[in-house]
Amino acid sequence: MICLAKLGGAAFPSPRKLIMPVQDFLAFVAGAIAVLTLLGLVYRMFLKSLIREIKDWSSWLKKFQRDWDGEPASAGRDATPGVMERLNKIDGELKRNGGESLKDKVVETWECAQELDARVTTMELRQNEIHEALNRG
């Protein structure tokens, strides 16, 4: 039989019924220890390595983001441009801009090579003419 006392419209069980038997308490403690042990094993076997992988990936992602965005100058270090700024600089080198870009230098080198090729061809022709003149005479 449960003894109920009414206080302010709420029903409370008798204080005698709140105390659990020792066997139930020991079973509860044993169950709690078993559950905590199981959680510890699951953490050690699976979650610990997963958390380490997540931390490693997070560290890599932070480095990637810093490289992508670039870094401002700090004490003793120059500013590091981000990826897009570096790509724009490379793209600028691949377009002609009046003599200073890489493409302009390549075109200039190509034109010099063509001019040298023409000179060598002219010299070979003259050498052949001189050789034939010496053989005739």
Q: What is the pLDDT of residues 17-32, one digit of tens each?
A: 557 788 888 999 999 9
- CA angle, 97 then 103 then 107, to 5°: 105
Give the model's pLDDT for residue 2: 45
End-to-end CA distance of the chain: 145
> In terms of pTM, does the model score above 0.95?
no
pLDDT tens for each residue of 33-79: 999 999 988 888 888 888 899 999 999 999 999 989 998 888 888 89
Cα 131 off chain centre by: 68
Asked whether residue 129 carries a pLDDT value surpassing 70, the answer given is: yes
Nearest to 33 by CA among 22, 41, 21: 41
